[in-house]
Structure 1
């Protein structure tokens, strides 16, 4: 077997290595269901995801390696142009559309760290979504690939889109990432996703609650001493998510005006 090369980046990358043209990652009870989902996506023509290649002799999941650059945090310039941001919106819409025909295995188990806060009737429920579509989980190369599917699980389109907006716009309170053109960029993302007016109104109401849900996850798991969440809490990620939730709520009228103009 070729040498193993540790892959770094992101906040949860322990034990992730590259071996030749494959990635080996720790598997979990959810892995068979996730692999069935990824197989379905490729079968219906969605190729912005790694292909699952089974489990290796050490019990790790094996996936195809996606060459390219992860934009967050040092190459966010890759997502600055409006057409690049629009590509994210189209990619997410294509993913959710491709998921419509997926029937999970009868014994499917999913890793559900945050209950989906969307309305399954009004927010496009009944599908499996990524739950962590963000610039730290996107590889930009000859083709764009979403990675880190461990949190894929049944959910709603708008809960997924609200999370994507926080990272890709970004809707960030921190001065280093707060953008004067945030409302314009949100419009670009949502237009590319082809969201209707009712969906836009619902999305604005979810922006703050999706960020708050991340804060609550970190607070809860940190109190229990569960890693890597306890480490992320100590590093200030909880406070960052709390501030982003407040920022999203404070400017809700601004987001709605931009989306409905």
Structure 2
């Protein structure tokens, strides 16, 4: 690839306008971009390198980030989450991020792109820790991308969302995990959740999943894009089905998480 050649990047559901140029990624910027860049710079200064490094803005007003090589896990490389030690690696990576961000002080003028208000605020959370935002290059190089919806949130809110995607917790026959409860326990153990945090987490799993359904439903009802397109593609119904599946099995999740 020549230095100035732009290669459109796919992945996720809202990646319009994201391109690769050499070893960089260019993305449309927004009012939240300076705060996100401050967050990413802090993470690297704190020793967390599983995220792009901010490189400023280009002459088209786009944000510039380092390109993170590898394969996006969802949907075609979800096998990378097997064996379960890989799932544990994800949980530890998230814990490393949460520990690294703990002492981050946002700029005074920080603006964040808050799509879904979090339950509790104790960190600046990623808010979209999911297999569609995890890039795996090899055993040593894993990275989370798409930090544009980072903002005030909580560790457990981030963890609840990640668990939904990485276990995954879904009744869809193409994705349902027969050992979901065991994978949930492995994730919680690897992250290092305390007993009290596990008790808080279980009912939050359904609420966090349902919050995504409600957001998509409401945005689609207003005709907003890309959310209307996602509704047409069945995403709203999928999140609804996942929320019901999770809520109906709360006792099962709790028993697994608290088993001695």
Which of the five TM-score ranges fits, normalised by the shorter chain?
Answer: over 0.9
1:219 aligns with 2:225: no
1:183 to 178, 181, 184: 181
2:194 to 193, 196, 218: 196
Gaps of 5+ in 2: none
Corresponding residue of 2:135: 139
* 1:150-187 deviation line (CA, Å, top 9, x unaligned): 11001000010000001000001211111110000011
Corresponding residue of 1:160: 158
CA separation in 2, counterparts of 1:149 and 1:172? Answer: 25
- TM-score norm. by structure 2 comes to 0.97
Contact 2:184 2:253 in 1 (8 A): yes
Corresponding residue of 2:239: 241
CA separation in 2, counterparts of 1:23 and 1:173? Answer: 35
2:53 to 46, 51, 66: 51
Equivalences for residues 4-43 of structure 1 within 5 A: 4-43=6-45
CA separation in 1, counterparts of 2:144 and 2:132? Answer: 9
* 1:26-47 deviation line (CA, Å, top 9, x unaligned): 1110000000000000001011
1:251 aligns with 2:253: no
- TM-score norm. by structure 1 comes to 0.96
Corresponding residue of 1:60: 62
Corresponding residue of 2:96: 94
Contact 2:8 2:19 in 1 (8 A): yes
- Two-structure CA RMSD over aligned residues (Å): 0.8
Contact 2:122 2:155 in 1 (8 A): no
**Equivalent position SS for 1:59:** coil
**Equivalent position SS for 2:71:** coil
CA separation in 2, counterparts of 1:84 and 1:28? Answer: 34
**Aligned residue pair count:** 255
**Equivalent position SS for 2:10:** coil
CA separation in 2, counterparts of 1:74 and 1:3? Answer: 26
1:129 to 106, 125, 130: 125
1:70 to 48, 62, 72: 72
CA separation in 2, counterparts of 1:221 and 1:250? Answer: 26
> Hey, which bits of structure 1, 4+ residues long, moved more than 4 A?
none
Gaps of 5+ in 1: none
> 1:126: Cα distance to partner?
2.2
CA separation in 1, counterparts of 2:210 and 2:178? Answer: 22
* 1:115-162 deviation line (CA, Å, top 9, x unaligned): 10x2x3xxxx32101000000000001310100001100100001000
1:114 to 105, 113, 116: 116
Corresponding residue of 1:151: 149
Corresponding residue of 1:210: 208
